[in-house]
Structure 1
Amino acid sequence: MTSTNRRTVLTALATAAVGGPLLGGIGATAAHATGANDLYSSNTDLYTRLAGKEGTDFVRRYRRHEQFDNARGASSAYGRTAILALHGGGIEGGTSELCLGIAGYDPATLVATGGPVFDYWMFEAIRSTNNADLHVTSKNCDDKVALSIAAANLNVVSLHGCTAAQAGAPVSRPEAVVVGGLNGTLKSLLHDALRDAGFQTIDGSSEPDLAGVEPANICNRTLLAEGGQLEITTELRKAMFTVNTIAGRATSTTTVYHAFVAAVRDAIARLEASGGDQIIL
């Protein structure tokens, strides 16, 4: 994992703020914070109406790690943490690459980068235009693999993109991440780790549309019925890549990307080591 200090991150964010225009429209349109503007009522609806379009309009990627428990005296064969990106590719640009990085994989090569690896699932829109049309809001995600991965793990970190206005970020500092979800411990750890790394965090309780507190939201469909959600502003995601296109992001990650990934992985490590509800009977 790349080590990046707080000063480096803040400098990189300041540089990105005065950089050129976005390439490839990374979150160029406002994210659908609710399902009000969705064209599809669920993933199943999307898959049905776009039958034959997988591989041209959209793709799904996931990885599940082998688990087994042969111990007779105890039972502990359950997943710990899964990473989700429901709106990857050209919908909320950068969330696919973040999903892979936080799960412990290089987004370009898919090779494990060292340290723990986590289950992951992502939906990616890959059209040349109009990718936002393929957005399905989190509470309506009914992809069977995605649901099964969430339900097989104690924790979920779900990654999303939003605008600075949706996040309630100040105009003078639009690079921000809204931390939400029903898992209060995970939220606190994410706030602490991201702030320590130099990122501006905003609590989801102040932005109801981004709070991720609905039980039906897939981030909360875990073994513990609670999880975490990160809504990352366009400006912050812009700073994570030098080539902000569907094809270019995986091979153009910046120090800001690596610092964000490291911070979230640190929060997950602290959560998994915390005991308490991290052990189920």
Structure 2
Amino acid sequence: MTDKYADWNELVTDRDPDTGELVNVEGRDWYIGLRPGSGVYLLHMAIHGGAIEAPPEQLADHASTGCPFYTFAGTRSSGNTSLHITSTRFDEPRALDLARRATRIVSWHGSAGPSGEAVTYVGGLDSELGPLIRARLAEAGFRCDDPPDDLGGMNPGNICNIGLRAAGVQLEMSRTQRQQFFTPDLRRSTIEDPANRTAAFYAYVEAVNQGIADLSLPVGPG
């Protein structure tokens, strides 16, 4: 995917050349959801939330009970992919503030993945937490593979890697995998209703949180 905007400033200052009006308006085209807590041990992030990459926002939100959460979410009826800023350039100020204060970060994403294959690419520089999450996902029956280079989350500038340990976890879920989390589809109206979540949704989140628990990490705000 080629991003329309190189960074946050470009996104929020873009204006229609004909009318001069802002193209991307908070509350109309996008919103930011966050629970900062008074301190940050473990941060769950979905920087491509809403209809940008459905449904990492809902998974991250559900996983983050008791600890900080952040999402930047697209809310348009269509054209939300234009709001995508890649993880190495995502510099929204509130996201950076939370991430830089976090001991551990789990960043949730959606990718196309192989056609018809349900798979999660577990990446990022956290060589302790990443394998624990991967093991728990596999134990729960979710296929996990080594990520391709462009989805590896290995760049130190990736937002998942800018916390206090300079190492985080990036979960890239294929479209087929994500489709298993909601019924009947991944439309915005579907993913915003918890009644449409499947058993796989809850099993996946539980597996991720079990991996976190295996690290014996305090996950609540401090």
CA distance in 2, matches of 1:271, 1:212: 20
Checking the alignment, whether the CA contact within 8 Å between 1:180 and 1:230 is kept in structure 2 is yes
How many residues end up aligned between the 2 structures? 208
The match for 2:191 is 249
CA distance in 2, matches of 1:267, 1:49: 41
Deviations 1:39-93 (A, max 9, x none): 00112211122646111111111111124xxxxxxxxxxx210000011111111
Q: How does 1:76-155 map to 2 (within 5 A)?
A: 79-104=40-65, 117-155=66-104
Checking the alignment, whether the CA contact within 8 Å between 1:80 and 1:272 is kept in structure 2 is no
Quick one: which amino acid aligns to residue 44 of structure 2? I
SS of equivalent residue, structure 1 residue 157: strand
Q: Give the alignment partner of residue 180 of structure 2, picking from 232, 239, 260.
A: 239
CA distance in 2, matches of 1:264, 1:273: 13
Unaligned residue ranges in structure 1 (runs of 5+): 1-31, 68-78, 105-116, 166-170, 275-281
1:188 aligns with 2:153: no
CA distance in 1, matches of 2:53, 2:216: 28
Quick one: which amino acid aligns to residue 129 of structure 2? L
Q: Give the alignment partner of residue 178 of structure 1, picking from 121, 134, 143.
A: 121
CA distance in 2, matches of 1:48, 1:261: 36
Quick one: which amino acid aligns to residue 43 of structure 1? W
Unaligned residue ranges in structure 2 (runs of 5+): 16-21
CA distance in 1, matches of 2:217, 2:29: 40
Q: Give the alignment partner of residue 56 of structure 1, picking from 1, 24, 28.
A: 28
Q: Percent identity?
A: 32
Quick one: which amino acid aligns to residue 97 of structure 1? Q
Deviations 1:109-152 (A, max 9, x none): xxxxxxxx111110111111111111100000111110111111
The match for 2:8 is 43
The match for 1:268 is 212
SS of equivalent residue, structure 2 residue 88: helix
Kindly state the Cα deviation for residue 239 of structure 1 after the two structures are TM-superposed: 0.7
Quick one: which amino acid aligns to residue 222 of structure 1? G
The match for 1:28 is none
Flag as ranges the 4+ runs of structure 1 deviating above 3 A: none
The match for 1:203 is 146
Range that drifts further, 95-104 or 216-225 = 95-104
The TM-score, its normalising length taken from structure 1, stands at 0.71
SS of equivalent residue, structure 1 residue 164: coil
Deviations 1:209-262 (A, max 9, x none): 000000000000100000000000101111100142212213211100000100
CA distance in 2, matches of 1:137, 1:164: 17
SS of equivalent residue, structure 1 residue 84: strand
RMSD: 1.6
CA distance in 2, matches of 1:198, 1:58: 34
Q: Give the alignment partner of residue 38 of structure 2, picking from 66, 80, 85.
A: 66
SS of equivalent residue, structure 2 residue 188: coil
The TM-score, its normalising length taken from structure 2, stands at 0.89
The match for 2:19 is none
Checking the alignment, whether the CA contact within 8 Å between 1:89 and 1:246 is kept in structure 2 is yes
